Chains A and B, each alone.
Chain A
């Protein structure tokens, strides 16, 4: 299955494990990803706060280049939720509004480009996994079922909302991720916070607001007795993983909820080694959870923990006793 792939900036930096694991499972799922040539940043959630029309022109340059690429695919896939939404919104707004189409193409023409809205199908990785590849094909590839692993399915915001091309019938309660996790042999726990926000860039703007949102997400997964959270977005992973450490400092709490990408979990279930999947690069180590399915992370892949305060009392009520495994 040939796809045009828009990586986005995070996949080269903080989300490198996402990129590594996607690359590792790509041949096993018979995907052929061709990168958008010389792609530029999608603007995240920031560029459009300064310039409105140029924000859409910024995204449209990628669409215009993708349209010219000819690997036989009309589908542009992004694994980052914000990248996906910015691409999808630009396509949809240009298709819906003649003024937008004319203005954005006027700007593109200054760079010798043009884009015909509606000519590409813009999809998130989750959509491609669930709709195009399908549960049967995924299940058939499983050689190391994730039996006994309890996983909280976390969608975040921008895959299911605002859903410009109506890909998801129920934006408040999607189930595609749970179905994929169960196809891998894992148990998807009830996770009421599954489409709540990870706080996005609020971690930089007003950390206190962000820590509260992160605490709610991690707390909900903890009381659902999840061993780990499955995520589909670089921003979500960064906020829930790296900022979980900061959140614990802020509240004096001791949550320990590892956050892995869906591609890492698929890779494990397909029998790949953790080090092929970028596992061990998370701030909240997943090793104790993965020990439940007999996966050991070799010491060179696991980054040594730097000096950390010992866990003391747990001020948060209803914290279940932590399951076995080294800290």
Chain B
């Protein structure tokens, strides 16, 4: 921890203000290897939802290096990432692309770029169940989510919900873990450490 803080301070001292690239690399858990990107485009060519993205991952990484933070955070690209890891397993430079997409999502949420973003709301709804119960709860998640974001379709989807229930594949009441207090203490401490980065 101290070592990491020291590295951060040293980097800032050398270059004046911290660049967006440095910031993204520093806060990404593990080693992001973002600085190793050679702009080859294998990522965008592999992405199953690349066609819906404002920028391919390659393009987004170029924007990060150019310090174009606002464009990056306004891009829909991270929100179309479905965590399939195809880009990451093909990347010749072993850039942790999927992890970087998570980081960019979290910065966009922290800095308020996501008010009407359905994907961000899904993540936050999911998180609220995990922090309340220690488990996810698909009935609550899907119901809350469909009513808010796809109200027209929610009647159609009720058929699937009913099908899940009749097949015994739906939990009606969320299950709470025994030591939820312990889990919350761990998460709260981790949040303090995250904020200090």
Q: Which residues of A contact B (CB under 8 A)?
A: 9-10, 12-17, 38-41, 43-58, 61, 82, 89, 92-93, 96-100, 102-104, 106-113, 157-158, 160-163, 171, 195-197, 199-202, 204-207, 209, 213, 242-243, 245-246, 249, 281-283, 303, 306
Contact = CB atoms under 8 A, between A and B. Distances in A.
Contacts of B105: 49-50
Given A14-B169, A171-B89, A106 B193 contact: yes
A108 B102 CA distance: 22
B164 A242 contact: yes
B48 A196 contact: yes
B167 A157 contact: no
B182 interface: yes
A46 B86 contact: no
A197 B80 CA distance: 13
A200 B8 CA distance: 36
Contacts of B137: 9
Nearest to B1: A102
A211 B187 CA distance: 35
B102 A52 contact: yes
B84 A200 contact: yes
Contacts of A106: 1, 189, 193
A212 B142 CA distance: 20
A41 B169 contact: no
Interface stretch (B10-18, B54-62, B114-122): B114-122
A6 B164 CA distance: 23
A47 B194 CA distance: 14
Given A40-B177, A242-B163, A281-B168, A204 B190 contact: no
A306 B138 contact: no
A291 B121 CA distance: 44
B49 A209 contact: yes
Given A12-B171, A161-B89, A53 B29 contact: yes
**What 9 A-B pairs have minimum CB-CB distances, sorted nearest first?**
A197-B84, A110-B189, A93-B30, A107-B190, A54-B190, A46-B126, A57-B190, A161-B85, A49-B105
B29 A45 contact: no
Contact of A12 (B119, B120, B149, B175): B175
A113 B174 CA distance: 25
Contacts of A53: 29, 190-191, 193-194, 197
B9 interface: no
A110 B186 contact: yes
Nearest to B179: A38
A100 to B, nearest CB: 6
Nearest to B169: A14
14 contacts: A12-B175, A40-B134, A57-B189, A58-B183, A103-B190, A106-B189, A157-B84, A157-B85, A171-B89, A200-B83, A205-B122, A207-B150, A243-B160, A245-B163
A106 to B, nearest CB: 6
Given A41-B136, A201-B82, A107 B187 contact: yes
B8 to A, nearest CB: 11
Nearest to A278: B168
Contacts of A61: 182-183, 186
Contacts of B129: 41
A195 B79 CA distance: 21
Contact of B186 (A44, A111, A161, A197): A111
Interface in B95-110: 98, 102-103, 105-106, 109
A107 B160 CA distance: 40
A157 B83 contact: yes
A104 B190 contact: yes
A161 B97 CA distance: 12
B122 A47 contact: no
B193 A100 contact: no
A226 to B, nearest CB: 21
Given A111-B185, A162-B89, A205-B122, A100 B29 contact: yes
A61 B179 CA distance: 11
Contact of A113 (B98, B156, B186, B190): B186
A16 B29 contact: no
Contact of B82 (A15, A45, A89): A45
B187 A54 contact: yes
A197 B170 CA distance: 24
A192 B195 CA distance: 44
Which of B80, B83, B98, B159 is the most central at the interface, judged by chain A CB atoms within 10 Å of its CB? B83
Contacts of A108: 186
A103 B193 contact: yes
Contacts of B83: 45, 82, 157-158, 200
Interface string B142-177: 100110011001001101101110111111000101
A44 B193 contact: no
